[in-house]
Structure 1
Amino acid sequence: CGRVEFQDKFFSPATSETALTSETDDKVFAPPDIHKGDVARSLLYFAARYEASLGLTLTDCPPYDPTDFGYLSELLRWNEADDVSAEEEFRNDEGCMNWQGNRNPFVDYPQLAQVFYPQGPDEVLPNAMTYSRCAAPTAAPTASPNSCREDLEAGDIPMFLVNSDDPDQVVFIPTKDLEPELGSLFLTDNAWDGSKFLTTEGTWEFEIPTDGITAGTVFGLGDNSPFAENWEEYL
């Protein structure tokens, strides 16, 4: 550890459009004070819930692994400094009753952070706010957009509607004609870990109709979406 920049590198507000207490050093963003506890407790939940399956780790060290998140020491301070609000409790209730079926225990019991991290991270650095030198950025799934084909460009098939609550629905509206000669299109919600896709979610294949799809014609995955019957789960 120790490869950090210090708090005097930060300036507020982060941009002219963000809250006065937001911060940035042009590499990372700190939310406004009234939301710092919300963010901390969300990340504490994700680390507790998904550490075993996805390897998520909260740390004060540089992110040598794509699943490392920092700064743990700063998140612990945010959790203590920004108490749970009525709005945060409401989101926890609604998320449990309507979608998740489980609660964020760090919202119900913020003191659990000290139970999970009784001595803090391996090395808590005073005033440490951001990394000064990091590992190479995580590579995208492809080296460059559409490097394997020349008939589609970035932005040709924009996505304009997503429903992530079951049943999933994703709707597209192409800006160019999609000819059947293009073959199949693929959609996945599997996470990319820097070298491969995880297999915790799913992938679907879309077969372009024999008449093609003209620019501006809506199509999508999910019930009641146009051309929904052209999708099949890809194994």
Structure 2
Amino acid sequence: MHAICCGGIVSSLLWLAGVTHSYAQVTIERDAKPHYKASYSKEGILGKSSTAHPASFSPSKEAENQLKVYQYRQENGVMAFSDHAPGSAQYQVLLYDCYACQPDSSLDWKKIPLFYRDYDELINQAANTHNLDPALIRAVIHAESAFKVFALSRSGAMGLMQLMPETAKELGVKNAFKPEQNIDGGAKYLAQMLRRFDGDIDLACAAYNAGPMNVTHYKGIPPYPETQAYVKRVKILLERYRKPG
């Protein structure tokens, strides 16, 4: 989860030759990050087109292989999403899922490089303000966006801690692509989830990813493979970030 003018944009505007459309269908809960079911076209997601991704868009080889979603505006002004680049239209390439949400990820989460010093002052400040372990904030940022400040998911989740627009608004975040606002807002929301679920980190992280109503409904981590993978990887990252860098 668009027009941001910066060389490090994750959702870079590209002009490429396209193929036929195949639209994604969305199911949304009020306070959750939406889960998607994609409708694929016959040629497959990559088709025959090639795309050059900025380094900031592709934190790893695996990210390049994630399902790509093409966002573009149709002639009638309606925003559309497709698994193929549209013909002769300006579009944005979005990642389909959060960084740590791919159930079949081949990354070794116990060994991938960490971001020990990135946004150190802002993370420590947010941790003090919201009474959180700074290692937890860092682990969630890593799991959500791999520390990409302009990360934008197809669902509209924005920035380092992938705040949904409505959630950002409720948290008082005016610009989710400004690290100081995003980190403070994400930390505030994470603290809310910890209070709501009596300090249980697993449930708080599951709520951060899938929405607190889903956690309450299922009386635990929801049976979504993406959320289960996310919680597991946040815990691995948390344990690693708690160790001196």
- Asked if TM exceeds 0.5, the reply is no
Select the structure of larger CA radius of gyration. Answer: 1
Higher relative contact order (CA 8 A, sep 6+): 2
TM-score after normalising by structure 2: 0.21
Which structure shows the bigger proportion of residues in helix conformation?
A: 2
TM-score after normalising by structure 1: 0.21
Which structure shows the bigger proportion of residues in strand conformation?
A: 1
